[in-house]
Structure 1
Amino acid sequence: MAASRYYDIEPVEVAADTYVVFGAQENFNDANHGAIANTGFIVTDEGVVVIDTGPSRLYGQALREAIGRITEQPVVQVYISHAHPDHFLGNNAFDDVPIAALPGTIDAVRAVGADLAGNLYNLVGAAMRGTSAVVPDQTVEAGTTATFGDHRLQLLAASGHTAADLMIMDTTTGVLFAGDIAFHDRAPTTPNADIDAWRAVLAQTREREFAVLVPGHGPSTPDDAPLSQTGDYLAWLVDRFTQDANDGMSAAEVMFQPLPERWARLAVQPGEYRRSVSHLYPAIEQSALPERTE
């Protein structure tokens, strides 16, 4: 099959009835075919709930085939965590079931989804064929719950990584699907980030009780390590950029500074740090200008 030619999907059971397909800890390339984010699914007596659909139509098809090897239950619901292409462009393969997302995610997919798909075609190549940006057709209301069989899901609206970040807490198993609010052993991406909001959500999420945390990228854990690591990295970025701006450094100078070992060892570094310079440094530099000129 074309899907299996590009994607060798092996779900890992992280809790009862709960599976994760772990993405490559890499940037997009024509070897990983864009499969760099974690996707997941929960098998219930009322059907399968899918959390994020991956980067392409073919990935979505491969995910459905993998689900079919584990259970005969049909897919009955899809949730999309946020509007980044590695998380929602597999929607093509699930357009026969409800696809739900926060209003901000729906708006973003509608506005820029086609452009994101086109960009990923350029980065990944033939694995993207037949992929289009399918807009979620069901709105998630913040703070609501959804029950499928004996699995009760809390639908948690947040923001920070993007303007709309959905986290899903399965109160039955204690599994928290944090989406890209949490990265683990991989540098966070910041193209749409509000760092203050993100850090606030991370702090709030650390107060939650959970048995397993599934980040958007990187391995799952039974503790809050991904939340702590992500928060510490974001705090370090802001502190470094603020100090560098006050010292009058240009973006080009900041971009090529060496990283401390703790952050240099993260996957996709130093490239992700340099992207964050372009995303975040101009505003921090601008805010420092009055201090430097007084």
Structure 2
Amino acid sequence: MRFILCLFLLLSAMPGWAAGPLTYNLKPVAIAPDTWVFEGTREHFTRTNGGNILNPGFVVTDDGVIVIQTGPSRRFGEEMRAAIATVTDKPIRKVFVSNLHPDYWLGNRAFADVPIAALPGTIEGIKTEGQGMTENMYRLVGDWMRGTEPLVPTETVYGSTVVFGAHRLRLIPLEGHTAADLAILDETTGVLFAGGVVFSDRTPTTPHADIGQWLAALDALDALDVTVLVPNHGRIRTDMAAIAQTRDWLSWLDRTLRERAEAGADMAELLDAPIPERFAGMGVLREEYRRSVSHLWPRIEKAVLPRVN
């Protein structure tokens, strides 16, 4: 009996283990008329947060509820639907998924009864990489993922404006963070769901990034008339400062890696290189910087170094 008690206490102290059922404790935060967001952390995927690092949201219209992103697991999607039901009894009309990264769409199974829409590149990316991403999330966050299986979006969308009740949603196809990044501007309220393109006080992730295209996407969003900016990760803003911050980081990162490659540096030398103080407040800074070096360096090194046959 003493052994069993000690084992119980040991397990209770382990990160990600809980005596009761796992729950995300999702709470909708109103950010504009008819518009709510579930605010995630500025961390990595862990067994403590269950992958809850995104800012999915929903818009309540006279034609039903529009959901934007479904979260990192089936459990998250189910809790999201339950939380939406505390705000409105209107049915879910449609779901939009902004890109192929797992925290955007692995909650799709909880919305399998409604159309799930995404850009063509996102759909193809999920078909190609979705199973592997799902398996990796099981390794990263464990039991939070129980019952989660890939569900590819069922509807293809392009750049257009769609109307639901009194809300005009402009669908904006972009690229750079991934090969297909969907931003959504509610022209009725001025709320911009920036998809994967904008980070706010959280270091950008780059596993599928093209920095040049990403910077062009930021310029396109910066030209919009926006009252509330919902970044994919980080603090929600009533200004466009997060776009400038994301642009600053990407420009510095790209320039630094290119300059060091041209100087003949080795990738290992870059991993512990100094990062400017102005970025110190961004979440998971050193970790994401190192990941970005590993993602971006091979292509940059190949581009700047002369080929020797």
TM-score, structure 1 as length reference: 0.96
Contact 1:161 1:192 in 2 (8 A): yes
Contact 1:102 1:139 in 2 (8 A): yes
Q: Check 1:131–1:108 CA distance in 2 against 1; reply closer, same or farther (3 A cut).
A: same
Aligned partners of 2:44 and 2:88: how far apart in 1?
Answer: 32
Match for 1:57 among 74, 81, 100?
Answer: 74
Contact 1:117 1:132 in 2 (8 A): yes
What does 1:269-280 align with in structure 2 at a 5 Å threshold?
269-280=285-296
Aligned partners of 2:37 and 2:298: how far apart in 1?
Answer: 37
Contact 1:57 1:90 in 2 (8 A): yes
Cα deviations by residue, 1:129-179 (Å, 9 ceiling, x for unpaired)? 11011000001022x111111011011111010000000010110101001
What corresponds to 1:221 in structure 2?
A: 237
- How much does 1:288 deviate? 2.4
Show structure 1 runs of 4+ deviating over 3 A. none
- Are positions 1:173 and 2:189 aligned together? yes
Moved more, 263-272 or 24-33: 263-272
- How much does 1:283 deviate? 1.6
Q: Check 1:182–1:4 CA distance in 2 against 1; reply closer, same or farther (3 A cut).
A: farther
- How much does 1:265 deviate? 2.7
Aligned partners of 1:80 and 1:242: how far apart in 2?
Answer: 33
- How much does 1:233 deviate? 0.4
What corresponds to 1:186 in structure 2?
A: 202
What corresponds to 2:161 in structure 1?
A: 145
Match for 1:243 among 235, 249, 259?
Answer: 259
Cα deviations by residue, 1:87-133 (Å, 9 ceiling, x for unpaired)? 10000100000000000001111111111010000000001011011
Aligned partners of 2:174 and 2:267: how far apart in 1?
Answer: 30
- How much does 1:10 deviate? 0.8
Letter in 2 for 1:176: L
- How much does 1:207 deviate? 1.0
> Structure 2: any 5+ residue segments left out of the alignment?
1-19
The sequence identity of aligned pairs, in percent, is 50
Larger CA Rg, structure 1 vs 2? 2
What corresponds to 1:48 in structure 2?
A: 65
- How much does 1:180 deviate? 1.2
SS in 1 for 2:232: strand
Give the superposed CA RMSD.
1.4
Q: How many residues align?
A: 289
What corresponds to 1:163 in structure 2?
A: 179
- How much does 1:4 deviate? 7.3
- Are positions 1:209 and 2:245 aligned together? no
- Are positions 1:283 and 2:303 aligned together? no
Match for 2:131 among 86, 92, 114?
Answer: 114
What corresponds to 2:17 in structure 1?
A: none
Match for 1:21 among 38, 51, 57?
Answer: 38
